[in-house]
C-alpha cells in the first residue's frame, strides 16, 4: 500500500517540476505528459527490480 502513495507523490512532484520548466520556457507544455509518464515508468521498473532483489536476498 505504500508504493501507490509514494508513486502519487512522485507524480505530483514531477508535475510541479514540469510546470516550472514550462513557465521558464525550457520545455513545451505538450511535452510534459510524455516525459512524466516515461519517468514514472522507468522509476517503477527500477523500484520493482530492486524490491525483487531485496526479497531474494532476505
Instruction: Tell me the residue range of the domain where 38 lies.
Output: 27-58
Backbone angles phi, psi at 26, to 5 degrees: -80, -25
Instruction: Give the pLDDT score at 4.
Output: 80
Q: Is residue 44 part of a domain?
A: yes
Instruction: Give the pLDDT score at 48.
Output: 87
Residues 6 or more apart whose Cβ sits within 8 Å of residue 35: 18, 27
Model confidence pLDDT, tens digit, residues 8-19: 898 899 889 999
Q: Is residue 53 part of a domain?
A: yes
Model confidence pLDDT, tens digit, residues 2-56: 778 888 898 899 889 999 999 999 999 998 889 888 988 998 899 889 888 888 8
Instruction: Give the pLDDT score at 7.
Output: 81
Query: Residue 55 in 3-state DSSP?
Result: helix
Instruction: Give the pLDDT score at 10.
Output: 86
Which letter does DSSP use for residue 31 in this model?
G
Q: Is residue 22 part of a domain?
A: no
Amino acid at each position: 500500500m505504500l508504493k501507490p502513495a509514494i508513486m502519487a507523490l512522485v507524480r505530483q512532484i514531477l508535475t510541479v517540476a514540469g510546470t516550472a520548466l514550462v513557465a521558464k520556457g525550457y520545455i513545451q507544455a505538450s511535452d510534459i505528459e510524455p516525459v512524466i509518464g516515461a519517468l514514472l515508468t522507468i522509476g517503477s521498473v527500477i523500484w520493482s527490480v530492486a524490491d525483487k532483489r531485496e526479497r531474494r536476498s532476505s
